[in-house]
Structure 1
Amino acid sequence: MSYEFSLADVAFLTSPAGVAAVAQVDRLALTGASYLADVRTARGIVGDRAGAVLETVLLRRKAVSKVDDPGRWLLTDAALQQATPMPVARHRAERFAGRDVHDVTCSVGVDLAALAAVAARCLGSDLDPVRLAMARHNCAAALVRADALRPVSRGTAVFADPGRRDAAGRRRWRPSDFTPPLDALAEAYRGRDLAVKCAPGIDIPWAGEVELVSLDGQVREACLWSGSLATAGRRATVLRTGGPAWTVTDAEPDDCPVRPPGQWIVDPDGAVVRAGLVRHYAARHGLGQLDERIAYLTGDTPPPGVRAFRVLEHGHYSEKALRATLRRLGVGRLEILVRGLDIDPNTLRPRLKLGGPAEATAVLTRVGHTPTAFVCAAVRIPANFPWSERPT
């Protein structure tokens, strides 16, 4: 069970004594081997507040992947689990730039902080008084305690991130089980520009646009946009830490042929696949599909900024044939990608009896009705690589 913070805990953690106590406890290793001894040390430093201080230190260490400058944040475990990574929050906030915005489920303020940085005016509200107190410490925005389903603002664009876990921490998948439910949110803010963060895979009729967002190759969220905030029907946005972002929408052409294998196999980013925009992405980059029902693409020139797979050999898939090819190529380290076939890479790998100095990627898929294996070399294509010098 995670620690349950109180308002008194928040008051202590924001006091000079609390700040000093957190700094002292943060010097402890708090590893599995040292944890019991470190807890005793923490109790000696701060007494009855040791639980709040220890939890704050541990959560700040986990928050490195979610927020900027995690050492200044106050968090709860549940709030951190649901928090948007800051690059994703900043991307989403761009559509609210220069507007008055109300975050109606602000929690400890991760999304609120990104909104406040670009909005003309920003209001945050939540029902949980402890999270509101933490948000007051974390963000420079106006805050009020309010039920998200009882609007307390007028004329603002609205953002919501409904709770998607039950009291035991189990993930909820039905929109009607969210807190608050999605349809109730839409009804409460009917006629207002509304954006709702939710899990990938949710598609709601009232949403004018569904945007899937990935960060560093991992799909992080879907955002439902309505009113003037919606600018496409479906959108995939791909973010890279320290690299350029790009997006593709269903407004683009999708004239993508099914074609024979080319020199390269391309596995589109998960956001593109989950948004149903594989053909649009392929058309943009002059690629074709290996099979109209499979998301693997092929062509003779890979797109910029992706990890693509240069085809070394390909043919009908059988375990025996693949084993012989890998042995002939001296492959000792193998990445296995599967789509459209009932193959478990972890079960297959030891049966291939790999050995040798080479490294390769096996792309196993179905082309028409034919199980097909592509043995490839994985290559990271630079985002700014000149088209005329693209690797072949």
Structure 2
Amino acid sequence: MGYRFTVEDVAFLGSPAGEAALAEIGRLALTSASYLADVAAARRMAGDRAPMLLETVLLRRKAAIKLSSVDSWLFTDEALQQATPWQVAAHRARRFAGRVVHDVTCSIGTELVHMPGFALGSDLDPVRVAMARHNTGLPVVQADALRPVTRDAAILADPARRDSSGRRRWRPADFTPPLDTLAAVYRTRDMAVKCAPGIDPADVAWAREIELVSLDGQVRESCLWTGSLATPGVRRRATVLRSDVDAWTITDASPDDCPVTAPASWIVDPDGAVVRAGLVRHYAAAHGLAQLDPRIAYLTGDSPPPGIRAFRVVEHGRYSEKALRQVLGRHGVGRLEILVRGLDVDPNALRPRLRLRGEAEATVVLTRIGHTPTALLCKAERIPG
């Protein structure tokens, strides 16, 4: 549990005196080696205010990895943990272009600041309200998300999915506020609701479009879109954001006709957002790929899509530990990445039993093709974007 800020703390930290004190504390290294000495120095410099100053400096350093332009921002530890990465927030904000937006669970303002037009926020927590005002310069009020304080604005909401002890809540009825109640309150509004990526579509039948979003290979969230913010004719969407290549998206409105074939020159493991959104066949059709098995997400083809990490097939055959050990020994593999889908194999338990020796590095894809357990020895390659 981090330092518990008060509204008075926020007022001081946002004042010229607070900014000067933060600048002074910010010169401390605060590394694991220097931490105790630095804390003692901070207490000599700032007295009773040292804890909140130290916490703010440390949170700003941590936030720089996740958010953009945070040099003067104020955070709580919990709010920073819950904050949406700036790339994901900026992507979502683009769909609100031309709208007045009300973020009804705005927290410290990390989504609000990316909105392209007029936006306002509200939150129940007075400390977060004060921080959001400081961070964004936008109108932010203290209000319950389930008691609307605007009339015609499009709505953005991010219900809390942890209880007071920090444990995750999995049932939408246990979110704060509950999803169905939120949907009922804003049933006449256009709305986007940020949720965990594992949300069951059956639990949110009121959502017109469900978008799964990944960032640099990690599935970050699902976003539920309603009203005219949803794309006509689209129920499911996968959006893939990466730092090194352009973002792309695919929906269930795309063709999904792809064959099922034997392994070709390459194996492609689709991005997690594509898999979670149930759009593997759509992705395959878009890139001229085929499925190895209609129930498994691995794809194959002679030309992988640009900008991804794909696996060039060296050889493949029926999987058994003995057969795989022989193949790896023949190729002198000493470093092995193990990917598994469709088989009950624990890579961490399997690896030591393979008795790897040699200088070569490889990837083995373990899967089921029909009823046959199959091992595909591959070389991983980054395909130019």
Return the TM-score normalized by structure 2. 0.97
User: What residue in structure 2 maps to residue 188 of structure 1?
Assistant: 185
User: What residue in structure 1 maps to residue 357 of structure 2?
Assistant: 355
Shift of residue 182, structure 1, vs aligned partner: 0.7
Shift of residue 192, structure 1, vs aligned partner: 0.6
The answer to which of 370-379 and 346-355 deviates more is 346-355
Are residues 1:144 and 2:141 paired? yes
Per-residue deviation, residues 353-374 of structure 1 (Å, max 9, x unmatched): 2122211111111111111001
Per-residue deviation, residues 321-373 of structure 1 (Å, max 9, x unmatched): 11111111111111111111111111111221212221111111111111100
Shift of residue 66, structure 1, vs aligned partner: 2.0
Counterpart mapping for 1:103-122 below 5 A:
103-115=103-115, 118-119=116-117, 121-122=118-119
User: What residue in structure 1 maps to residue 97 of structure 2?
Assistant: 97
Counterpart mapping for 1:239-388 below 5 A:
239-383=241-385
Per-residue deviation, residues 260-296 of structure 1 (Å, max 9, x unmatched): 1110000000000000000100011111111111100
Distance (whole Å) between structure 1 residues aligned to residue 137 and residue 18 of structure 2: 21
Distance (whole Å) between structure 2 residues aligned to residue 213 and residue 90 of structure 1: 12
Q: Report the 3-state secondary structure (helix = DSSP H, G, I; strand = E; otherwise coil) of the residue aligned with 1:336.
A: strand
Distance (whole Å) between structure 2 residues aligned to residue 108 and residue 87 of structure 1: 17
One-letter identity of the residue aligned with 1:134: M
Q: Report the 3-state secondary structure (helix = DSSP H, G, I; strand = E; otherwise coil) of the residue aligned with 1:39.
A: helix
One-letter identity of the residue aligned with 2:18: G
Q: Report the 3-state secondary structure (helix = DSSP H, G, I; strand = E; otherwise coil) of the residue aligned with 1:61.
A: helix
Distance (whole Å) between structure 2 residues aligned to residue 45 and residue 292 of structure 1: 66
Shift of residue 148, structure 1, vs aligned partner: 0.5
Q: Report the 3-state secondary structure (helix = DSSP H, G, I; strand = E; otherwise coil) of the residue aligned with 1:136.
A: helix
Are residues 1:201 and 2:198 paired? yes
User: What residue in structure 1 maps to residue 211 of structure 2?
Assistant: 211
Shift of residue 242, structure 1, vs aligned partner: 3.8
User: What residue in structure 2 maps to residue 238 of structure 1?
Assistant: 240
Long gaps (5+) in structure 1: 384-392
One-letter identity of the residue aligned with 1:162: P
Distance (whole Å) between structure 1 residues aligned to residue 209 and residue 313 of structure 2: 37
Q: Report the 3-state secondary structure (helix = DSSP H, G, I; strand = E; otherwise coil) of the residue aligned with 2:111.
A: helix
The answer to which of 54-63 and 88-97 deviates more is 54-63
The answer to which of 80-89 and 37-46 deviates more is 37-46
One-letter identity of the residue aligned with 1:145: Q
Shift of residue 223, structure 1, vs aligned partner: 0.2
Shift of residue 36, structure 1, vs aligned partner: 2.3
Q: Report the 3-state secondary structure (helix = DSSP H, G, I; strand = E; otherwise coil) of the residue aligned with 1:96.
A: coil
Distance (whole Å) between structure 1 residues aligned to residue 351 and residue 71 of structure 2: 42
Q: Report the 3-state secondary structure (helix = DSSP H, G, I; strand = E; otherwise coil) of the residue aligned with 1:338.
A: strand
One-letter identity of the residue aligned with 1:138: N
One-letter identity of the residue aligned with 1:291: D
Shift of residue 25, structure 1, vs aligned partner: 2.0
User: What residue in structure 1 maps to residue 64 of structure 2?
Assistant: 64
Per-residue deviation, residues 87-142 of structure 1 (Å, max 9, x unmatched): 10000001101111111110100000111xx12x2111111111011111110322
User: What residue in structure 2 maps to residue 124 of structure 1?
Assistant: 121
Distance (whole Å) between structure 2 residues aligned to residue 196 and residue 169 of structure 1: 21
Are residues 1:12 and 2:31 paired? no
The answer to which of 13-22 and 86-95 deviates more is 13-22
Shift of residue 29, structure 1, vs aligned partner: 2.7
Shift of residue 32, structure 1, vs aligned partner: 3.0
User: What residue in structure 2 maps to residue 388 of structure 1?
Assistant: none
Distance (whole Å) between structure 2 residues aligned to residue 334 and residue 61 of structure 1: 35
Q: Report the 3-state secondary structure (helix = DSSP H, G, I; strand = E; otherwise coil) of the residue aligned with 2:71.
A: helix
Per-residue deviation, residues 43-97 of structure 1 (Å, max 9, x unmatched): 1111111111111111112112321122221111111111100010000001101
User: What residue in structure 1 maps to residue 167 of structure 2?
Assistant: 170
Q: CA RMSD in A?
A: 1.1
Distance (whole Å) between structure 2 residues aligned to residue 63 and residue 256 of structure 1: 43
One-letter identity of the residue aligned with 1:39: V
Q: Report the 3-state secondary structure (helix = DSSP H, G, I; strand = E; otherwise coil) of the residue aligned with 2:214.
A: strand
Distance (whole Å) between structure 2 residues aligned to residue 323 and residue 198 of structure 1: 43
Shift of residue 201, structure 1, vs aligned partner: 1.4
Shift of residue 37, structure 1, vs aligned partner: 2.3
Percent of aligned pairs with the same amino acid: 72
Q: Report the 3-state secondary structure (helix = DSSP H, G, I; strand = E; otherwise coil) of the residue aligned with 1:125.
A: strand
